[in-house]
Amino acid sequence: MSIRTTFAKTMPIGIGAALCVTGVLAQGTVPLAPGPHDALAAAGPQAAQIGQLWNLFLAICTAVFVAILAALGWALRRAPRANRDSAPDLSMTHRHEGGPYRSVVLAVAASTALLLLLVVASVWTDRALARLPLEHAVNLQVTGHQWWWEIRYEGSPESQTFTTANELHVPVGRPVVIRLLADDVIHSLWVPNLSGKKDLIPGRTATVTFQADRPGIYRGQCAEFCGFQHAFMAFEVIADPPDRYEAWAALQRQEASEPGEGPARRGKEIFLGSTCVMCHAIQGTDASALRGPDLTHVGGRTTLASGTLPNTDEDMKRWIRNPQQLKPGVNMPASSLADADLQALVAYLRGLK
Amino acid sequence: MNAWQLALVLAAAAALTGCYREKREFQPATGAASAADTTRMTRIHPGPGEPVQSGSMPHAEGQRDDENAFAVNQGKRLFRWYNCSGCHAQGGGNMGPPLMDDKWLYGHAPAAIYATIVEGRPNGMPAFGGRIPEDQLWQIVAYVRSLSGQLRKDVAPSRSDGMAGAPPENVRDEERPIARADPQPKPVEPAQAASPAASAASGAPR
């Protein structure tokens, strides 16, 4: 972690939060609040390291700032502004001033030493981040799309692999290794409570590692401007105790549940026979398109459209009816389903727990 | 500036608000799926299931979006969202034939393009009938025509949302369609039109 990225990391928090709030209010939709989106409220070793580095920077920079202002105040007090009519005193230009000379040398030396200290601290932090032990790690692959996250849990054997979207579940106390890919443009994965930012660059593979030590829901956000709906490209990291995580993973590996009698059955027919199936996949059915998020267990997720909406019947209906109204520019066309059919479709999708 | 000039400026500004370019439909039509039971020229269609007839089908005639810049731009987005660009690229053609030149295998009139999308065509063009909603189909038709400069310059899209390899649609020269003596495609039997996957996907009446 370099000095530059540390500053870049913390500067946009306030601005980002302010923009988020305005955006949310403007849309009239309030996503679920998952705890503080705070880079200083560390919930794992990686974020704690970065937090320590930030505190060191803050302390040193504050001390330097105060010292400089004190020196300025002292100088102003010592030699107040001369009378406008008196001639300037140029006598000091002809003689060597020992005192000021020593002060300047001392200040330059102190600045150099402090900057070097910060560089060393940055390098140390970087190395500490790389030292996270990775035994029994959970291996994930996250692909950034405009504007959602495709999340693939790699299992061995291959049949244990499953794909989900916009919701990362991790077990508490186990390291997580995420391979980062991008489908279209540069994105950046950032979960302030757990780890620093890492860019997802098309054509390149990057890796980020972190570990959650406290159960909870931590909000993640795309941190590299990636187009129209960059602000609504969020996700949630849900850190669960290991047994709950395993139960969740076992459920995700299963195919979609077959709808019972009633509207849900009709909803499945509509899904397979309308435009949905041209982009989305539901494991266990013939729907296998990979353009949009995998919907095999969409009913069990907490948000829709990458953190844009809470996952409720009403919001899902609004979303399918006209996504452009809720997330303008999103790559999903409006649907023209009749109201009863839309109702049935939502009953089916929400039933896919 | 005296009072008369000021009044004139204000009047001109007020008059500007009366300018009206075109009517834009921001709300999608509901229950407007295109006809599912239309003639098919191909056995290929997107998705595994048979199309579901949802709601009533509005009559297609007279629904021309050729003179509506908003509709043409919507068509441009749909062209990408429905993956027309997967085969036709950005109009230059790839697996599918180019759409920005002067050769029109199945006609260049809006109704002919509409039919091509809905019915599908032999050798690869899937039938989208019953899937893409009617209003969106006409928007795509209008956009496809803009690719070869068939629309007015003030209607055709001027710039792309993403990277584009070709000049904007509104600066292209109009291509004059070349008449061809190709035989018309023969419809496939409805029973053949259903893909094998369809029977597994849905068995309920539609």
pLDDT cut 70: percent of chain A above it: 90
Confidence of residue A75 (pLDDT cuts 50, 70, 90): confident
- The pLDDT value recorded for residue A122 is 96
Query: Which has the closest alpha carbon to B61: B121, B134, B123?
Result: B134
Is it true that A138-252 and A263-350 share their CATH fold? Answer: yes
Q: Which of A20-24, A212-216, A272-276, A296-300 has the lowest mean pLDDT?
A: A20-24
Nearest CA in chain A to B199: A286
pLDDT of residue B165 exceeding 80, the answer is no
With a cut of 60, say whether residue A11 has pLDDT above it: no
B residues 127-156 closer than 8 Å to A (CB): 130-136
pLDDT at B202: 39
**For residue A175, what are the β-bridge partners?**
A211
Average pLDDT of chain A to the nearest whole number = 87
Give contacts of B54 with chain A, Cβ < 8 Å.
Answer: 270, 274, 336-338, 341
More confident site: B163 or B173: B173
Say which residue, B176 or A255, is predicted with more confidence.
A255
Task: Say whether A333 and B134 touch across the interface (CB within 8 A).
Answer: no
CB contact under 8 A, A322 and B197: no
pLDDT of B94: 86
What are B42-87's pLDDT values in tens digits? Answer: 778 787 767 765 444 444 444 567 888 999 999 999 999 998 988 9
- Which pLDDT band, with edges at 50, 70 and 90, does B16 fall under? confident
Q: What is the mean pLDDT of residues A57-61?
A: 96
Domain covering A263-350 in this structure, CATH number: 2.60.40.420
Q: Lowest mean pLDDT of A55-69, A139-153, B8-22, name the range.
A: B8-22
Beta-sheet strand order (sheet of A162-165): A162-165, A148-153, A138-145, A175-182, A206-211
Structure tokens at B190: 């409805």
For domain A138-252, give the CATH number. 2.60.40.420
**How many other CB atoms are found less than 10 A from the CB of residue A169?**
20
Q: What is the pLDDT of residues A83-141, one digit of tens each?
A: 778 877 777 777 777 888 898 999 999 999 999 999 999 999 999 999 999 999 999 99
Cβ of B31 within 8 Å of Cβ of A275? The answer is no
Per-residue confidence band for A45, with pLDDT thresholds at 50, 70 and 90: very high
**A73 pLDDT exceeds 80?**
yes
What is the structure's pLDDT at A112?
96
Among A43-52, B48-57, B87-96, the range scoring the smallest mean pLDDT is: B48-57
Q: How confident is the model at residue B200 (pLDDT cuts 50, 70, 90)?
A: very low
Cα gap A201→A188, rounded to integer Å = 8
pLDDT at A191 over 90: yes
Band the pLDDT of A223: cuts 50, 70, 90. Answer: very high
Distances (CA, A) of A259 to A249, A256, A269, A292, B205: 21, 9, 10, 22, 17
**CB-hemisphere CA count at 13 Å for A109?**
6
| Subunit contact B48:A337, Cβ cutoff 8 A | no
Domain ranges of chain A: 3-77+100-130, 138-252, 263-350
What is the structure's pLDDT at B189? 59
Mutate to test the interface with B, among A275, A282, A325 (most CBs of B within 10 A): A275
pTM: 0.80
The pLDDT value given to residue B180: 61
What are the phi and psi torsion angles at A179 (to 5°)?
A: -85, 135
Most confident of A161-170, A329-338, B122-131: A161-170
Instruction: Retrieve residue A223's tokens.
Output: 């941190």
Contact A273, B126 (CB under 8 A): no
Give per-residue pLDDT as tens, A295-344: 999 999 999 999 999 999 999 999 999 999 999 989 999 888 888 999 99
Q: Which fold would CATH assign to domain B65-179?
A: Cytochrome Bc1 Complex; Chain D, domain 2 (1.10.760)
Which of chain B's residues have a Cβ under 8 Å away from the Cβ of A337? 30-31, 33, 54-55
* pLDDT value of position B31: 64
* Closest among B53, B44, B32, B66 to B136, alpha carbons compared: B32
Please state, rounded to an integer, the average pLDDT across all residues of chain B: 78
B179 or A24, greater pLDDT: B179
